[in-house]
Each structure stands twice: as structure tokens, then as C-alpha cells.
Amino acid sequence: MIWQALADGILTGAVIALGAIGVSFTLQIMRFANFSHAELLTWGAYVTMVFVAFAGPGSPTSGLSFGWQMMAALSLAAFLTGLTAWALDRVLFRRLRHRGAQHMTLVFASFGAALVLRHLIVLIWGHDSRFYTRELQMTIEVFPGVRVLPDQVFILLVALVVLTALHLFLRFSRTGIAMRATAENPALAQCCGMEVDKVIRATWIIGGALAAAAGVFTGLTPQVNPDVGHQLLLPLFAAAILGGIGSLAGAVVGGLLVGIAENVLLLVVSPGYKQAMSFMLLLVVLLVRPQGIFGERKEGDR
């Protein structure tokens, strides 16, 4: 039982990590909690759904419930969702930033944006649950007593590849280095000639694209509905803060811990309280170590 919960936790945790990266970077680079980030997961899932409706999920290959078409659809949707995130910044958050609004005004604005984004989905696609594919999958036993779906293994692998690529990008590319510098100290980065606008654009596009991937992966197991993103809001924030904001490794470790904690706690707590688990974890982290695992203690962290 515990091993199964652990495996499930790692699988959901990897997806949460993908979604949490955007939350974490926005918190660190733009210094506000973006409540609308979770809706980008939903948008990514639905845009992918549109492409899949045109092209089909592809013929199942090597035990998966979909073919390469699905991944092509996902890549396109990730790109579009990244652009959407950036467009949202242009029409909303950037205006408020340039006006010198308090950062809490940005949080309000993100509340409003979250409402609009989520209900636009209801308006366009309705409330019904949708499926990428009707293909049935058999679980495979990876360890004695631990069964997972082939799709889940694939998702974990894709997540690992994406995270490694992002790590290399942040480590070596000019934009990546500028992002890390701005996260560390925005004023100093600007003095050193970093183009803050460019950094902000990269942050939105990367965060949005990863959110789309997280949304699709959540939707693959097993369904998409207008609330998929919203229901991950607390886990995303819990993961970002638990790991330490602005840190890629932090978001990954945070995501995995949140995923594992949720699934292991479900062994002892009634599933009705599932949504409260990540919140409880978040509360404990904020009280015990508000800077997170990988964060450095700073003035005003709490």
C-alpha cells in the first residue's frame, strides 16, 4: 500500500512540479502570487483538446493510449499557452506594474483574471468532462505490488526531459542567466544591463508552456474539465513555497513532496479531505521554514 502511494505520489508530484515552476518564478521575479496561473493549466489542456479533435490522439504506440500526434498537439498548445500568459501580462499585469501599483493590486488582478480565464473555458466548452482518448489501458506491475499505467511512466519521463532542458537553459543560456540574476536581485540585475522586460517575457512564456504540459498530463489521467487547473491551485503554491521560490530544484522537490504527502496521507485520511492536504502542508512550511527548502532566509519572507 505504502509503496503504491509513494509511486502515485511521485507521478502526480512530477506534474505538480511542472505547474509550480511558473508560480515560483512569478513569485520571485515579479514578486506577486499569481492566482491565475492554475487556469493556464486548464487552458493548455483544452487547447490541446482542440488539436486532438482535429488530428486525433494518434494510434496507440508501445502500450501508450496515444501516438505522436498527441505530443505534437501538446507542443503547439504549450507554445500558445506561453504566449497567452505573456499576452495576459501585457494587457493586465504590466499596466499595473508600470503604474507603480502595490503588489497586492497585482494579486487582486490575478484573482479577476483567474475568474475570467476559467469561466471563458466553461463558456466555450461547457462543464462536461472530456477525454483525449477512449483507449483503455492496463496497469503494469513495475515492482511487486506497485502498479502504474504506461501513460504515467511516459509522463514522468517527459517531465524529466523537460526539467533537464530547463535546467540547462537556466544554467547556460544568456536569457536563463539573466532570469536567475533578476530573481536574485532585480535592481542589481537592471543596473548590470539585464533587460528586465525580456526576462519577464521569458518567465511568462516558460511558466505558461510548462503549465500547459502539466494541464495535459493531468487531463490524460483520466479526464479534462474546467476545474482541473483550479483544483491544483493549492498544491502548486504549496510546492513552490515548500521548495523555495525562484528555484527550479525547489519546485521539483516541492512538487514531489506535495505529491507524495497527498497520496500517503490519503491512506489515513478520508479522501473527502484530499484538497486540504496540500494546504496543511503549506501552512506547516510557512510556519516552520517560510523560505522553503532551497530558499535563503531574507527579510520579509514570512
Partner 1 sequence: MSGLVSYLIFFACIVMILGIVTIGLNLQWGFTGIFNAGVVGFYAIGGYTQAILTAAPAAGHLGNFGLPWIVGIAAAMVVTGLAAWLIGWITIGLRDDYLAITSFGIAVTIQLVTLNWSELTGGPNGLTRIARPLASVFDTPAAFNLWFLVLLVLVTAAVYTALERMLQSPWGRVLRAIREDELAAVSLGKSARNFRLQAFVIGSMLMGLAGALYVSFIGFVSPFDFLPIFTFQVWAMLIVGGSGNNRGALLGALVVWSIWTASGVAVTKFVPPSFAAQGAAVQVILIGLALILVLIYRPRGLLGERAMVSRHADS
Instruction: Name residue, grid cell 537592471.
Output: 190
CB 122 → partner 1: shortest distance, Å? 4
At residue 111, the 3 state secondary structure works out as: helix
Q: Find out whether the peptide bond into 150 is cis, omega within 30 degrees of 0.
A: no
For residues 156 and 10, give the distance between their C-alpha atoms in angstroms, rounded to a whole number.
Answer: 8
Per-residue mark of binding to partner 1, 227-246 (x: CB under 8 A):
------xx--x---x-----
Which residues, 6+ apart, have CB-to-CB distance to 36 below 8 Å? Answer: 88, 110, 111, 113, 114, 117
Segment near partner 1 (CB under 8 A); pick from 68-76, 108-116, 152-160, 201-209 = 108-116
Choice from 53, 107, 140, 188 touching partner 1 (CB under 8 A): 107
Is residue 193 at the binding interface for partner 1, with CB under 8 A as the rule?
no
Comparison of 114 and 220: residue with beta carbon closer to partner 1 = 114
Of the pair 46, 237, the CB lying nearest partner 1 is at 237
d(CA 63, CA 264): 28
Q: Which residue has the cell 483520466?
A: 222
Exactly one of 54, 62, 127, 144 binds partner 1 (CB under 8 A); which one?
A: 127
Instruction: Quickly count: other Cβ atoms within 10 Å of residue 3's Cβ.
Output: 12
Q: Cβ 49 to partner 1, closest distance in Å?
A: 17
Determine which helix (DSSP H) or strand (DSSP E) holds 142, and give its type and residue range.
strand 140-143
Question: Would you tell me which residues interact with partner 1 (CB under 8 A)?
Answer: 27, 32-33, 35, 92, 95-96, 99, 101, 103-105, 107-109, 111-116, 118-120, 122-123, 126-127, 233-234, 237, 241, 270, 272-273, 275-276, 279-280, 282-283, 286-287, 290, 300-302
